[in-house]
Structure 1
Amino acid sequence: MPRLMLTDGTWNVLSKVMYLSGRIYNKPNHRKTLEGILYKMRTGIPWRDLPSDFGRWSAIYRRFNLWSKKGILNELFRALSRDADMDWVFIDGSIVRAHQHSCGARTADNESIGKSRGGNSTKIHLAVDSGGLPVYYELSCGNTHDIVHAESLVANCPTSNMVVADKGYDSEKLRAFVRNNNATPVIPRKGNSLVGNE
C-alpha cells in the first residue's frame, strides 16, 4: 500500500468539516478517496496511474471534481488555515506552466492563464505561516507581476507580527500597507533603490 498522509486525528478533524457542511454525506470510503487525491497532488502522477489501493482512479477523479465544484476542498483549506502560526507571514508568487490544451475554449470564467515568452502559464500568489503552511492564495495570469496581489495577500491573511517577502515586493506603498495592518515589513530593497536597505 502507498504511504498515507492522514492520521486518525487529522481525518477526524477533516471529516467533521466535510460532513457539517451538509453537502456530502458520511461514507466509509471518503477517507481513502481523500488519501488518493492527496497522493496524486503530492506525486503529480496521472489520475490513471493512481494505485488501486485508493479505489478506482475514475471514481477518485470524479469525486475530486465534485468536491472542487461544491467548494468542499476550499472549506477544508480554510479550516486548516485557522490553526496557523501567524507570528510570521511569508508571501511569494510562483509560475506554473499550463498545458498547451488548457486554454482556447470560449468561456465566461476567468481561467487565470496568460501568455508569455515561455508559453501559457498561471501564477500562484501564496501566503504561508511561520511553519510554511499555506493560509491564503490567489491565482492570476502568468504574466502578472507579484506586487499586484501583495496587498490582497496581506489583507486576507490572519493578523501577523511580520510580513516577509523578496525584492520583487520592494515598494514603499506595500510597506506602509503592512504597517497599517499592525505588522512589520521585512522586504529587502532592490540594488538600484535610492532609499537604502531596511
Structure 2
Amino acid sequence: MRKLYWLDDEAWARIEPHLPRGRRGARRVDDHRVISGIVYMLQSGGRWRDCPAEYGPYTTVYNRFNRWSRQGVWHDIFKALTGHSGVYSSAAIDSTSVKAHRSAAGAKGGPSSRA
C-alpha cells in the first residue's frame, strides 16, 4: 500500500486564499486533492504519468502545476506558508579557486599502450 501525502487543515487554510478563482470551463477537480498530488510528485521525483489516481488525473495535476508556475501562484503559496518569498534580489557567490598544473586534467600520462 502506498503512503500518500495530504495537506493538513492548517496548511490548506493558509494556501486557499491565494488560489485563482472564477475560472470558466469544465468543473474543476478539487484543489486540495490536486495540490496534495503536486507536492507528492515533487517529493517523490517520479514522472507525472505515475501520479496516483487518488489525486485525480495526472494530466490535471501536471497542467495545474505548470499553469500556476507561469502565473506566479506558487510564489504566493510559498510566501503564505513560510513568510518569505524565496526570491532574492542579490546574492554573493564565493570565488574561491584552486590552482592546478596544466596537465592535471589527465591528458597523456604514463607509458603508451600502443606498439
TM-score normalised by the shorter chain: which range applies?
Answer: 0.5 to 0.7
Residue equivalent to 1:61: 62
Secondary structure (helix, strand or coil) at the match of 1:12 reads helix
* More relative contact order, 1 or 2 (CA 8 Å, 6+ apart): 2
Q: How does 1:155-166 map to 2 (within 5 A)?
A: none
Residue equivalent to 1:9: 10
Q: Please identify the structure whose Cα radius of gyration is greater.
A: 2
Separation (CA, whole Å) in 2 of partners of 1:17 and 1:136: 16
Secondary structure (helix, strand or coil) at the match of 2:5 reads coil
1:24 aligns with 2:25: no
Residue equivalent to 1:44: 45
Unaligned runs of 5+ in 1: 85-134, 139-147, 152-167, 171-198
Unaligned runs of 5+ in 2: 97-115
Amino acid at match of 1:13: R
TM-score in terms of structure 1 length: 0.39
Cα offset, 1:150, TM superposition: 2.0
Residue equivalent to 2:92: 150
Moved over 3 A (4+): 25-28
Larger helix proportion of the pair: 2
Amino acid at match of 1:24: R
Secondary structure (helix, strand or coil) at the match of 1:58 reads helix
Separation (CA, whole Å) in 2 of partners of 1:62 and 1:55: 12
Q: How many residues align?
A: 90
Over the residues paired in the alignment, what is the CA RMSD in angstroms?
A: 2.8
Secondary structure (helix, strand or coil) at the match of 1:60 reads helix
Q: Provide the identity percentage.
A: 26
Residue 16 to residue 58, structure 1, CA distance change in 2 (3 Å): same
Separation (CA, whole Å) in 2 of partners of 1:24 and 1:68: 16
Residue equivalent to 2:108: none
Secondary structure (helix, strand or coil) at the match of 2:86 reads strand
Amino acid at match of 2:91: H
Larger strand proportion of the pair: 1
Q: How does 1:98-137 map to 2 (within 5 A)?
A: 136-137=86-87
Separation (CA, whole Å) in 2 of partners of 1:54 and 1:28: 9
